[in-house]
Structures are given as structure tokens and as C-alpha cells.
């Protein structure tokens, strides 16, 4: 097992380099104002978890990287399209350690950049050898992301928001794309529908854990680690997994800390962090992330596939940012 993991660990940077090289030249011709912003976003970094998962899923099911590479790129471009538009809505200034498009240029070019990236993602998917099956789940996935984003915006002014409602939202917004990434790989390898469904469910649960982990890291990390603005979710009143638990425990303490954050952000955040640690929320959330990832791995049990890379991927997510 150790030798296998070392082998996968060596493969990942090579795959990332291939992904980055292709993304850097994905849109060479067009208006200079648009080509430079698309390139700026796609060269901006990121761990490339989603295309790696698409490739790992294909290989787990007996397919090859080459057969699924365009689909893997399509998922990554789709993901970055959602980030560009998300940054406009949340007024974020930093993404992947650099200024966001709307902040560096303006809202108009940011909207066009996102729209162009969506078109590029669809063109990449159209190069797949199983394009019809993949296109349907891709388009369905795109709509689900929009629905999840709409719920996220609604939750900013909805009180209270339940954990069940929150989980529905992140399953649409985050779990859906990671589930899509996994399913595209399985489809490309030609496995049966039952296996495809189980791998999609695996990906969605990994995505759920990923988003809750994001919530955690945004409070108990900093911009240098996360590579994005950490203040906006607090200022906008985002209902995250941790905040919902904290509000249920003691809403008055959290609301007072949020009010403090309006004039002294660092002090407000310190109060929220202290409360979550003392109330056991910080520990409970990390345990919840581990539980969800275990459930994801169980979805692979009994499948006629080579599971090692997918199990390694789950572990990669588990260790992210800690």
C-alpha cells in the first residue's frame, strides 16, 4: 500500500502539470481584453482536484487519462467559471492568491470572462468520445450549481437556516460538480449505470465534506493558506455549517460577535473562534468531515473497479489545509 501511495503521489504533480499546460493555451484567439482575463483565471493556480478526480475515476474503471482528458479540463473550466461569477456576487477581492477579475478589472469583463469560460468548457466536452451521455449530466450539473448558488444567496437573509437546508444547498453547489467530475470519468470508461451511480454518489459526498472543510478553514485558517478572501462570508452573513451550529448553541453570543466584526473584524472573528472551540463545535465539525469521507469510501465497496486512486483522493481531501 505504501508503494502504491508513493506512486500516486508522484503521478499527481505530473497530471497537474499536463492540466496546467493545456489550460494555459485553451483560448489563444479572441479579443485581447477577453483572452487575457481567461488566461489570468486559468493560470491563477488551484489544486486541480476536480480534473484529477475525473482522471482517477476513469483509470479506476479501466479507462485511460487520454480518453477523459478533455472532459477533465471541461470540469475545471466550469468550476472556474462559477468562481468568477461567485466572486462578483460576494464582492471578493482575492482568489487563488491573486486579485479577482471584477476587482482587478470590472464587473462587465468578469461577467464576460465567466461566460466565455462556460463556452470553452462545453467545447471541451464536445471533444469527448462519449459526448452525448456526458453532455446531459454536464448541463444538468450546471443548472444544479446555479440552484445551489441561488439558495446560498437566499440564506444570507433567511433566519434560521437548518443544517438539512444547508446540506441541500452545498450538495447542489459543491457536491454536484465533484460528483460530476467523478461520473464523467466512469462514463468515459464505459462502466454500467449502477457503477456510474455509485461513483457519482462517492463524488457528491466527497464534495459535501470538501465544502464543510472549506467552511472550517475559512474560520480557522488565513488568506495565505486558503488563497482567497476570508472576510466576505462573515460580512455577508453566510450560513456555513459551523455558523449554523454556533447559532443553534448560542445565537446571542454569535450575533454580538458579528456586530463587533462590523467595526473590528479581527476581534469579532476571535470571539467567534473562541466560542466555537469552547463549545466543541470546532472538534465536532472535523469529526463530521471524517464521517462523511468514510461514507463516501463506502460507496465504492463491492464495485468491480480498482479503488486505490479514489481512496487516495479521499485522503488527499481529508488532509487539505490542516
Peptide bond into 160 cis (omega under 30): yes
92-128 per-position pLDDT tens digit: 898 988 999 999 999 999 999 999 999 999 999 998 8
For 237-254, give one letter per residue: b (16+ CB within 10 A) or e: ebbbbbbbbbbeeeeebb
DSSP state of 273: H
250 pLDDT more than 90 = yes
Percent of the chain with pLDDT over 90: 82
The count of other CB atoms within 10 Å of the CB of residue 255 is: 12
Residues 188/68, Cβ–Cβ less than 8 Å = yes
Please report which confidence band the pLDDT of residue 33 belongs to, taking 50, 70 and 90 as the band edges. very high
Residue 319 in grid coordinates: 488532509
CATH code for the domain of 86 = 1.10.600.10
pLDDT at site 237:
74
Cα–Cα dist 270/272, whole Å = 5
Please report which confidence band the pLDDT of residue 208 belongs to, taking 50, 70 and 90 as the band edges. very high
Confirm whether 119 is domain-assigned: yes
Question: What SS3 state is found at 127?
Answer: coil
pLDDT at site 114:
98
pLDDT at site 6:
52
Angle of the 32-42 helix axis to the 107-125 helix axis, nearest 10: 70
- With a CB cutoff of 8 Å and minimum separation 6, the contacts of 11 are none
Flag the least confident range among 165-179, 222-236, 238-252: 222-236
pLDDT at site 87:
94
Mean pLDDT calculated for residue range 206-214:
97
Confirm whether 126 is domain-assigned: yes
Confirm whether 318 is domain-assigned: no
The number of folded domains in the chain is: 1
Confirm whether 55 is domain-assigned: yes
The residue with cell 503521489 is 9
Please report which confidence band the pLDDT of residue 135 belongs to, taking 50, 70 and 90 as the band edges. very high
From residue 35, how far is each of 3, 51, 105, 160, 320 by CA, in Å? 42, 22, 13, 43, 31
Give me the torsion for CA of 13, 17, 18, 20, rounded to 10°. Answer: 130
Angle of the 131-155 helix axis to the 176-189 helix axis, nearest 10: 170
Residue 137 in grid coordinates: 449530466
Nearest Cα residue to 37 out of 45, 47, 27, 46: 27
Cα–Cα dist 245/159, whole Å = 13
Complete DSSP assignment for 282-301 = HHHHHHHHHHHHHHHHHTTT
54 pLDDT more than 70 = yes
6-22 per-position pLDDT tens digit: 589 999 999 999 999 99
Confirm whether 271 is domain-assigned: yes
131 pLDDT more than 80 = no
Confirm whether 320 is domain-assigned: no
Residues 128/70, Cβ–Cβ less than 8 Å = yes
Cα–Cα dist 17/79, whole Å = 18
226 pLDDT more than 80 = no
Confirm whether 322 is domain-assigned: no
> Structural domain of residue 25, as residue ranges?
2-313
Confirm whether 321 is domain-assigned: no
The angle formed by the CA atoms of residues 233, 238 and 244, to the nearest 5 degrees, is 125
In sequence order, the β-bridge partners of residue 95 are: 98, 228
pLDDT at site 2:
41
DSSP state of 129: T
53 pLDDT more than 70 = yes
pLDDT at site 222:
67
Mean pLDDT calculated for residue range 235-258:
91
Amino acid at each position: 500500500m505504501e508503494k502504491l501511495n508513493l506512486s500516486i503521489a508522484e503521478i499527481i504533480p505530473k497530471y497537474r502539470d499536463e492540466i496546467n499546460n493545456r489550460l494555459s493555451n485553451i483560448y489563444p484567439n479572441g479579443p485581447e481584453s477577453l483572452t487575457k482575463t481567461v488566461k489570468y483565471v486559468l493560470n491563477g493556480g488551484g489544486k486541480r482536484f476536480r480534473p484529477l478526480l475525473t482522471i482517477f475515476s476513469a483509470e479506476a474503471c479501466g479507462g485511460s487519462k487520454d480518453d477523459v482528458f478533455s472532459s477533465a479540463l471541461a470540469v475545471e473550466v466550469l468550476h472556474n467559471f462559477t468562481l468568477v461569477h461567485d466572486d462578483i456576487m460576494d464582492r471578493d477581492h482575492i482568489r487563488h492568491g491573486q486579485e479577482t477579475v471584477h476587482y482587478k478589472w470590472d464587473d462587465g469583463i468578469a461577467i464576460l470572462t465567466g461566460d466565455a469560460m462556460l463556452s470553452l468548457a462545453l467545447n471541451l466536452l464536445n471533444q469527448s468520445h462519449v459526448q452525448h451521455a456526458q453532455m446531459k449530466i454536464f448541463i444538468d450539473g450546471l443548472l444544479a450549481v446555479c440552484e445551489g448558488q441561488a439558495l446560498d444567496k437566499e440564506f444570507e437573509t433567511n433566519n434560521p437556516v437548518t443544517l438539512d437546508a444547508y446540506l441541500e444547498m452545498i450538495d447542489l453547489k459543491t457536491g454536484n460538480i465533484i460528483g460530476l467530475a467523478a461520473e464523467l470519468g466512469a462514463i468515459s470508461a464505459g462502466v454500467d449505470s449502477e457503477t456510474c451511480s455509485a461513483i457519482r454518489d462517492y463524488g457528491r459526498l466527497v464534495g459535501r465534506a470538501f465544502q464543510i472543510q472549506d467552511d472550517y478553514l475559512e474560520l480557522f485558517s488565513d488568506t495565505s493558506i486558503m488563497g482567497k478572501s476570508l472576510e466576505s462570508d462573515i460580512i455577508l452573513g453566510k450560513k456555513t455549517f459551523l455558523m449554523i451550529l454556533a447559532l443553534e448553541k448560542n445565537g446571542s453570543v454569535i450575533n454580538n460577535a458579528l456586530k463587533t466584526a462590523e467595526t473590528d473584524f479581527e476581534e469579532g472573528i476571535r470571539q467567534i473562534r473562541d466560542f466555537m472551540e469552547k463549545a466543541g463545535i470546532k472538534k465536532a465539525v472535523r469529526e463530521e468531515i471524517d464521517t462523511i469521507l468514510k461514507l463516501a469510501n463506502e460507496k465504492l465497496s463491492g464495485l468491480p473497479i480498482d479503488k486505490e486512486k479514489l481512496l487516495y483522493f479521499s485522503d488527499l481531501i481529508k488532509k487539505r489545509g490542516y
